[in-house]
Amino acid sequence: MAFQIPKAITPQEVAAQLKQGKQLFLLDVREDAEWIEGHVQGAKHIPLGQLMERVEELPDSGEIIVMCRSGNRSGLACELLHEKGLQIVNMTGGLGSWTDYDQLVR
């Protein structure tokens, strides 16, 4: 049976919440080269391959919104973090579907 991510959010919903001033913990699991090309301002960057060895850098309470380019790697990251007992939310569609370019750092 495939892992079911307990909660998901779209890039548009994340952007809207950021515009409203909501404090979100955003985790970007893309590779370094992808991060350098552009990322959401304020996001924490931990490439997926380093996630388990750096999990202590994540908050142990509150939701963590996990993002990648398309939503696939973030889904895997969500599965790994959920097993650690963290409250995770997968950003479906990933940064490839992000449309609010004012919130991206390039």
Residues in the chain: 106
CATH number of the domain that residue 100 is part of: 3.40.250.10
What's residue 2's pLDDT?
55
2: in domain: no
Classify residue 45 by its DSSP letter. Answer: E
Is residue 1 a part of any domain in this protein? no
pTM of the model: 0.94
Q: Does residue 20 form part of some domain? A: yes
CA–CA separation, 88 vs 92, rounded Å?
12
> Which residues constitute the domain of residue 90?
8-105
Both tokens of residue 39?
């990322």
User: What is the distance between the alpha carbons of residues 67 and 105, in angstroms, rounded to a whole number?
Assistant: 15
16: CB partners within 8 A, 6+ apart: none
Number of domains in the chain: 1
Listed as ranges, residues in the chain with pLDDT below 50 are: 1
Give pLDDT tens digits for 25-43.
999 999 999 999 999 999 9
Residue 101: the pLDDT is 77
pLDDT computed for residue 3 by the predictor: 60
